[in-house]
Amino acid sequence: MRSCKSSVFLLVLYLLEGALSKSLIQLNSNGYESIVIAIDPNVPEDETLIQQIKDMVTEASPYLFEATEKRFYFKSVFILIPENWKTKPEYVKPKLETYKNADVVIEPNQAGNDDPYTEQVGKCGEKGEKIHFTPDFIAGKKLKEYGPRGRVFVHEWAHLQWGVFDEYNNDERFYLSKKKREAVRCSTGITGKTEAINCQGNSCVIGKSCKIDKLTGLYEKGCVFIPHKQQTVKTSIMFAQSIDSVVGFCTKKNHNKEAPNMQNQKCNLRSTWEVISESEDFKKTTPMTTKPPNPTFSLLQIGQRVVCLVLDKSGSMAGGDRLNRMNQAGKLFLLQTVEDGSWVGLVTFDSRAQVQSQLIQIKSSTNRNTLAKGLPTTASGGTFICSGLRSAFTVIRSKFPTDGSEIVLLTDGEDNSISACFNEVKQSGAIIHTVALGPSAAAELEQLSHMTGGLQTYASDQAQNNGLIDAFGALSSGNGVVSQRSIQLESKGSTLKNLQWMNGTVTVDSTVGKDTLFLITWTTQQPQIFLWDPSGTRQTGFVIDTATKMAYLHVPDIAKVGSWKYSLQASSQTITLTVTSRASSTTLPPITATARMNKDTGKFPSPMVIYANIRQGTSPILRAKVTAVIESASGKTDTLELLDNGAGADATKNDGVYSRYFTAYDTNGRYSVKLWALGGINTAGQRAVSQPNGAMYMPGWIENGEIKLNPPRSERNRSNVQQKQVCFSRAVSGGSFVASGVPKAPVPDLFPPCQITDLRARLHGYSVINLTWTAPGDDYDYGHASKYIIRISTSILDLRDKFNDSVQVSTTDLIPKEANSEEIFMLQPENITFENGTDLFIAIKAVDKANLESELSNIARVSLFIPPTPETPSPDVIPVPCPGISLNSTIPGLRILKFIWNWIGEFQLTLA
């Protein structure tokens, strides 16, 4: 029996591996099918928007076809229409399509801020998350700035489907190459002029000629490259798809490897076509010999939520207080999480299924309490999961089709027959969310979530971790308006002894407060409960449920903003506190936190990546304190601080997505993920403050020798970003993943330092280079590396392809700092010609104590520029006594040198 179970478990791991996104996109005979484009519920009703979406995709398909050398096209698209729009006979109910798994979202317009962009949180070649458009963009109102919307869609599609990056750089528009100033572009055959532009209000004018920075030889800020409208070059879509002649992606032959852009930085100087050619899509297709058909469209309209709980009450649920813990979590879902207007049914199962409640629409607390009475009170019998699922289908079909309905399946037991109903599940069109309770839940359970796009969660028997309540608390609607969703503010537990106290505070911020619930659970007897609102008034009126061992308080109206203080006292038992709320207003978006892993399965020694997205509406929340707790099947927990620093696992700095590697595997099996987020900076009115992955805004065009400027993007000016400190707390489930291949303890060190991705080089004077980067760790981004290997070359490709043969810099004085610290190192090139006009390239590898090397860093560059006219000597060169000096060094006197060095750098900028 054990051997059979092990084989099944390995099969499930194979089926789940690589499941990064819940996207429904399929590639079928060169055509992309089941693309989901969702219109946000807050977008005002406008029927013309639907036709405009169709027009965009129809225009994009032949452009994609030609750009990929007749290999790909758009075959079928689902357009998801909000529930609050008028119904029409041609609108049908969705199946697995939801806002959560949409590939493209149409968000409300924001004044002057209609930049199309794609969320990308992974490495080069990894699929993106979502494409973001606005109605104004879809309507074609940004044609001059971005070009035809179909072309823009193809640009964003390349981000989304193939994980390539942009070939322009708004922060660094020019670079020096062999003494010549070049605009960052791909290919270099694109022609244009460099002009200084002055913008005020809604218009821009050409200023005086661009000034040259005397230190760098580059143009000063305010200068932009304006291309000719008429070009002859055909690449590249990832630079400027808006140029009429551009119909393809840069290839290995014409890719500009020296340009300081994201594509070169993230993809190791490879062209976009090289990355696309390495994708799974490319490998399983061949060019077509016939013209592809136009895309087809299906119009889907969100309807009422229909959900059925399917809960295990087999004999194994009697152990570990599992049955009661399940009922506590089930009551939270029924009393609070599920939204008003939803239809809910209840099925329990052991060796067979029992219908505890047919579908009831949630209209009042009476309906909620009626459903809660159906939760099971005894546990016995075997485990037959398929019987529970089949009964749930019957309950749902009594009133509605199963298409688009949801099933919440919880089980703690083994069941080798679960695959017998896989086909029924697929045909049902229902979404199944799974909750694995304890170490022995059916190995194939996650496959049900994977095949239907449902959420998969795991809860251990450690009640103080509150995993079961977190799992049910995460089951808010994937389609409902965000103002109606339950938001978890706190989730905490503790095992208390000898009349100990569990004390703390919960922050209720101004974006939430409606329908706020404080829920306390215990394992043996009711604890002492004290709760005070922000004004110091003690709250009474808790509803005590002695049978389920829980107490809860609904705060009337809108809960007061501020810190709510609690004190709970108990002896020899485990207690938990959960606080949930909803948006305080339908017009003010609440601050939300979502968490997930980069894939469903981790294979040792491949690391997992944890992502947390903290936002208010479309605006990212920056500088929050974000912590993740990962619990393994053995009960071991690891706490990680997630970072938004653009280093290590984090793809982009200051985008509201916080990330970290996880390498602390200790056993095979399931791992749960939980997230806390506290405080931060709200970048009000900004859809994506630092979002680099989007179509290029064109400042203007040269037509018939005349420069015609486009309106400025004033709202995107980062100096104008409104930043406000916000106090909030969120505690959410990040789902679960399954680990395999973990060796028995002691686990060997097979984790190298993570790749350095933010190496920067700056020239001081004419002989000293200042390097900065974020320190990696011993194991990816934990601990600290043992040493750095820094090499330089005058050939960017030699440095990449022949790193070990390039000139090595002495790093004797460079002692690696703790991971995620800033490293600063000064070097004076030796054994290499460094004269006026020299372009010098630098890269780093980190090495850990096990002598494991990181991947090669991004390649930084400096260009030595000496003004052609004699200059009055200035203190811009510092003699360096050795080839490399780290400003992290503890050598006496170097702190003084660092002060002088920084002062001279500022003095140089003043002279310029």
Residue-wise pLDDT tens digits, 83-126: 999 999 999 999 999 999 999 999 998 876 788 999 999 999 99
Reduced to 3 states, what is the DSSP secondary structure of residue 58? helix
Phi, psi of 448 (to 5 degrees): -65, -40
- And the tokens for 434? 């799974």
CA distance 663 to 638: 10
Within a domain: 749:
no
Within a domain: 476:
no
Please give the average pLDDT of every successive group of 10 residues along the chain, which has 912 residues: 36 36 90 97 95 98 98 98 95 94 94 86 95 96 94 98 96 92 96 92 86 88 94 96 97 96 96 98 97 98 96 96 97 96 98 98 96 96 97 98 97 95 96 96 94 96 96 91 93 96 97 97 97 97 96 96 97 97 94 94 95 92 96 95 96 94 96 94 58 86 93 56 81 96 92 97 89 98 97 97 97 96 94 87 97 97 80 42 46 43 41 35
Does 422 lie in the same domain as 280? Answer: no
DSSP designation for 753: B
**H or E segment at 41?**
none
Does 30 lie in the same domain as 130? Answer: yes
Strand runs labelled E in 571-642: 573-583, 591-597, 601-603, 608-616, 619-622, 625-632, 637-642
Parallel, antiparallel or unpaired: strands 706-709 and 700-703: antiparallel
Does 141 lie in the same domain as 81? Answer: yes
- Token pair 């218009």 is found at 203
CATH of the domain at 388: 3.40.50.410
CATH of the domain at 575: 2.60.120.380
| pLDDT at site 406 | 97
Does 152 lie in the same domain as 223? Answer: no
DSSP designation for 289: S
CA distance 837 to 177: 8
Q: Cβ(507)–Cβ(593) under 8 Å?
A: no
As a three-state string, the secondary structure of 633-655 is CCCCEEEEEEECCCCCCCCCCCC
Domain residue limits at 853: 760-864
Burial 211-237 (b: 16+ CB within 10 A, else e): ebebbbbbbeeebbbbbbbebebbbbb
Within a domain: 599:
no
855 is an active site residue: no
Last residue of a domain, one of 849, 864, 879: 864
Does 39 lie in the same domain as 115? Answer: yes
**H or E segment at 457?**
strand 456-459
Q: Which of 156, 414, 444, 631 is catalytic?
A: 156
| pLDDT at site 513 | 97
Parallel, antiparallel or unpaired: strands 807-809 and 787-793: antiparallel
Last residue of a domain, one of 671, 706, 739: 739
Q: Cβ(242)–Cβ(147) under 8 Å?
A: yes
| pLDDT at site 886 | 52
Does 420 lie in the same domain as 490? Answer: no
Does 440 lie in the same domain as 381? Answer: yes
Query: What is the strand order of the sheet 431-437 is part of?
Result: 353-361, 343-349, 306-312, 406-411, 431-437, 456-459
Does 732 lie in the same domain as 623? Answer: yes
CA 154 to chain centre: 21
Within a domain: 311:
yes
Within a domain: 706:
no
List of residues 6+ apart from 255 with CB closer than 8 A: 186, 187, 236, 269, 270, 271, 272, 273, 274
Last residue of a domain, one of 553, 587, 621: 587
Does 771 lie in the same domain as 681? Answer: no
- Choose among 511, 526, 519, 520: nearest CA to 587: 511
Does 217 lie in the same domain as 152? Answer: no
Does 433 lie in the same domain as 327? Answer: yes
| pLDDT at site 226 | 96
End-to-end CA distance of the chain: 77
Q: Cβ(227)–Cβ(168) under 8 Å?
A: no
Does 491 lie in the same domain as 456? Answer: no
Q: Looking at the 3D structure of the chain, how many domains does it have?
A: 6
Within a domain: 161:
yes
Within a domain: 593:
no
Q: Is the dihedral of CA 458, 10, 600, 102 positive or negative?
A: negative
| pLDDT at site 690 | 47
Q: Cβ(334)–Cβ(552) under 8 Å?
A: no
CA distance 245 to 41: 38
Phi, psi of 469 (to 5 degrees): -65, -40
Within a domain: 789:
yes
